[in-house]
Structure formats: structure tokens, C-alpha cells
Structure 1
Amino acid sequence: MRSNQPVDDFGRSRQRLVEVLGLFTSAYRPAAGRRYSCIEDLVLSHGRWFTPSPLPTDRRPGPQQRCFANASAHAVIYGLTYVEGYATAASSAPFPHAWCARPDGTVEDPTWGGDGRAYLGIPFTNDFLQRQDALGELGPLLFDQHITGWQFLHDGIPGGAVAEVGLPMADA
């Protein structure tokens, strides 16, 4: 997996993303009964790296500030993997974000197009997404945890929910 940007910029963007998420994680202790202190802790524990790439020219980005809806629809239309986590764009702090991943771990970001610099997130299987939809719990999976009683922070990510795409943080 290679990025179109210089390796140094790519590495610095990843490093900055991890540093910022680490600040959140170090500021919180897991509450009683929780495995993870916060969503950032969950993403740092289970996240995978995805390689930035331009959006194909035949695909137009969706509206800004609608990344979860854009990525969800884009994944279904183009048969890609839906991912939630944190990403950075040019000269920005990490943002909660959703995007799509191709089987090789490259990003197809239907919101930012090709402006992303670093992507760290959890890819979800289509089966898991369909189960969540049937339960009426499909929406931002990581960032709407208050709706499901902080399920992922308490119990971790359910078996069979994570797709095997992207580079696990431990392997980077």
C-alpha cells in the first residue's frame, strides 16, 4: 500500500493522529464495567491503518459534514467496506470520520475526496452492518455509543464485526 504523498508527510500525519488520540486516552480511566476508557482507546486498540488515495474520477464526493451517511451509501453502491474512526485532512486535527476501504486497504473517501492524510479506523463487515440495521441501530457505530449504552466500551467489539482489511496498528 503506497500513498501519493511523500513518505515523511504520511508518517507525520499518522504519528500526529496517534498522539492526539493518546491524549484523550490518557485523560480518562475506564469507568466501572468498561473495557475501554473512551472511543479513542477503542480505536487505538483495534484500529487499522488505511492508505489515502484519490476518489476515482467517475465518483463525486457527497456533502461535507455527512461522512457517516456518505460512506454508508458509498459502501453499498460500490461494494466497499465501511470504516469508522479518525482521520486527518491537510493541516487539520484528527476528526471522527467515516470512509470506505478497498480490499487492498486504500481509502475511497466519499466526503473528503482525496484530501485525507491519515486514516485510522475500524472496518465493519457487511453482515454486522446488516444486523445493526435490523436492530434499528445503524448510524455512526462508534460515535453514537450513547444510544446503545456504550456497548463497545463495555463489551468490546462483537465477534465477526471487524472486516479483515487495512493494516492493524500493531503491524505498522
Structure 2
Amino acid sequence: MPLHQPPSRRLLCGLASLLVWFSATALADSRPVLGWVEKGLILPEGVAVKFKLDTGALTSSMHAENIDRFEKDGEKWVRFDLDLEDINTDKRVDSRVERKIERELTVRGAAGKEDRPVVKMKVCLGKQVYEEEFSLNDRDDMLYPVLLGRRTLEKLGPVDASRTFTAEPDCSVSKTDG
């Protein structure tokens, strides 16, 4: 933009450029803004639990009990219990699940080093089904049975840390994997 234009024209051009930038930014991410805690469904069981959307974690984590590793067709698998309270019905849902181990995750903390299996699980959040990797860990002492880490969050959209429960899970509308 030439500097010899009158100030009012430069201001008008600057405002127009700013408007175009804001419009492009808004259109670039039309996904809903989620809160830091959301209700989600673990599929295929359909059990409704609280998901914590945690930008401080890289890998997502899911509550699992009685984790048994075994081999199937030459591959590493895991068998575990989903023993959770459905927050919609207050009933316990206990299901034995088998999944192929995608990878191992080493977690280091105050209690030392721990290796956890990572498996793919389907979850419903809002109107979308996502098949994501979850490390398995007994989260009985935690407030949230499911923690969604940054690898999953980048597919979901923006998170507003001041909000909770913004999207009721309803995956009957869209069965597409995210």
C-alpha cells in the first residue's frame, strides 16, 4: 500500500484487511468450542462418562482394570475390564474388552516408571465418533475415567478452559470416524 494515500484511505484498507483475516480465521475452524470437561460415550458399550480434555497430556488415557497381555496370531493383544458408572443412569457397566496393542507407552512419575499398553478405542463426543489411541491405566482414584490428550484434541477443535459440558453426545446423527 503506497504511503502517499490519505490516512483515511490507509485506515479503511487496514480495516478491510483485518476483516478478511478474521473471516478467514473463523472459517478455517468451524468446529464447536468444547469445555475442559465434557460428557462422552465409550463405544460400543455406549457408557456415558466424563472426559477431561487435557492440553497438558500428549496421549489420551482410559480407565481399565484387570489388564492381561496375550498373543494372538503372532501379535500382542490386551484383555481388560471396563468397569464404569454410567453418569446418565447411575448404573455400573462392566465389560470385558480385547484389543490389539498398537504400541507401549512408558510413563514416568513420582511413583517411578510404568509401561502401559496403548490400544485403539472408539468414543463419541458431540455428534462425532472418533477412533483414537488410549493408554490403559486403572483410573479408579481419578475424577475422570477418560482423559483426552493433545493428539486427540487437535482433531476435536478448540477447548475453552472456562467451560464444561458444552456438547451432549449424540452419535446417531454421524457415524463417521474422526
Same fold (TM over 0.5): no
Q: Which one has a bigger Cα radius of gyration? A: 2
Coarse TM-score class (shorter-chain normalised): under 0.3
Of Structure 1 and Structure 2, which has the larger fraction of its residues in strand?
2
TM-score normalised by L of structure 1: 0.25
Of Structure 1 and Structure 2, which has the larger fraction of its residues in helix?
1
